[in-house]
Amino acid sequence: MDNKFMLTKEQRRYLGLEPVEAHWEVMDIKGTLYYFDGNIIKKEIITSDCREENFRYRESELYVETAENKKLVLPKTAKGKPKKLNFTATQSFRPVNVYFACEGSYITIANYTTQKTFYFEDIKNGLVPQRLQG
């Protein structure tokens, strides 16, 4: 039985995340889920068993172009070369826009693009930082 946590469409909307569309395809690479809209990787979700003590969930938006039936990652510049889509290639992906993370006792809602944190809390220790920019 799969006990991995996933946000619902309504929860994504509430958190400011792009919803997962019904036509998107999903690919699992070493336990991380990548969602494709055609040849564009739009979302990365890392999640663990929700019964684990060190539960982890991170959902990030991406914009990564692929080719050859999603087997190659296209370069971002004219000088770059295509790379095989594998775990190593995913390590260079740079998220964009809003992300949500619940890792250990920390909850974060922030934006990679603007570098603004909308919400952060250490739920185990009850710590909320001074004033967050919104």
92 falls within a domain: yes
| Residue 43, phi-psi category: left (phi > 0), alpha (psi -120 to 50), beta (remainder) | beta
The total number of structural domains in the chain stands at 1
Question: Which domain range does residue 16 map to?
Answer: 9-99
CA distance 27 to 34: 5
Distances (CA, A) of 102 to 47, 63, 65: 9, 22, 27
What confidence category does residue 122 fall into, taking pLDDT thresholds of 50, 70 and 90? confident
- The percent of residues above 70 in pLDDT, for the chain, comes to 89
**Range scoring the smallest mean pLDDT among 9-13, 38-42, 50-54, 105-109:** 50-54
116 falls within a domain: no
CA-wise closest residue to 57 among 117, 5, 118, 126: 5
30 falls within a domain: yes
Write down the pLDDT at residue 124. Answer: 77
**Range scoring the smallest mean pLDDT among 24-38, 85-99, 115-129:** 115-129
Residue 22 predicted with pLDDT over 80: yes
Query: Mean pLDDT over residues 34-57, rounded?
Result: 88
108 falls within a domain: no
